Structure 1
Amino acid sequence: MSLIMNYQTRKLPKKSIIMISILIVLGIFIFYTMQTLKNEKFKQVLEQLDYKDISGLKVVNRMNVEDTITKKKSYVYKLVFHDNVQNKDCIGFLYQQDSKQYTKDIDCK
């Protein structure tokens, strides 16, 4: 005796498909906007640190760090960009202190 199972699938309502599509498009738009704003922020920071003409800026990651002596938390950002003035590719770190001051450790090759 063999048991044959008959499965039926129910189609999603059009309203649900439209809502899911809108949420996906909205999510992609928000992600792209956040990436663009983050890159513009660091482009301005690099201009203050004497990197005036850059292209291809990418923020690779952000790390939370804590000073062992003062126990203050801050951030370290890893950046990759091309310096058009020196015509070199640069990679390095920006250390953000509490007062929104940045310290650089950037190597260009």
Structure 2
Amino acid sequence: MNQQQTRKLPKKTVITISIIVILGILTFVTLQTLKVEKFSEVLFELDHKNIKNLKVVNKQSVEDMQTKFKTTVYKVVFDDLDLNKNCIGFIYRDKNGNYIKDIDCK
């Protein structure tokens, strides 16, 4: 039987790859945390003051057909502790940076 030999990666390469992977994971976690913090503040301004388990499901850029302005729509899911309900809905960000909510709590 033929046995194929494999060459080990140099230590420097393994360390470099490990550092890049760790930096990527840290960047991802930091961005997710900042996004949740941002929307916690936005929901606080929109009268949802006591929330937990906030998750931003997705972000979409949409264009208003009448005004031709591009806006951003975020889909969020969270638990409102004041109402004891699970809430899901959309948060719209208009061209002026104002947020408008369309949230249904059940």
TM > 0.5: yes
TM-score band by shorter chain is over 0.9
In the alignment, structure 1 residue 32 sits paired with structure 2 residue 64: no
List aligned pairs for 1:70-85, cutoff 5 A: 70-85=67-82
**Which one-letter code corresponds to 1:67 in the other structure?**
D
Identify the residue that residue 65 of structure 1 maps to in structure 2.
Answer: 62
The percentage of counterpart residues that share the same residue type is 58
> What per-residue deviation string (whole Å, max 9, x for no partner) do you get for residues 48-93 of structure 1?
0000000000000001100112211111000000000011000000
Give the aligned CA root-mean-square deviation in angstroms. 1.1
- Report the equivalent of 1:95: 92
> 2:37 aligned with 1:44, yes or no?
no
Q: Give the TM-score normalised by the residue count of structure 2.
A: 0.95
CA-to-partner distance for each residue in 1:33-57, whole Å, 9 max, x for gaps? 0000000000000000000000000
Provide structure 1 residue ranges, at least 5 long, that are not aligned to the other structure: none
Residue-pair matches, total: 106
The structure having more radius of gyration, on CA atoms, is: 1
Aligned structure 1 segments of 4 or more residues deviating by more than 2 angstroms: 4-8
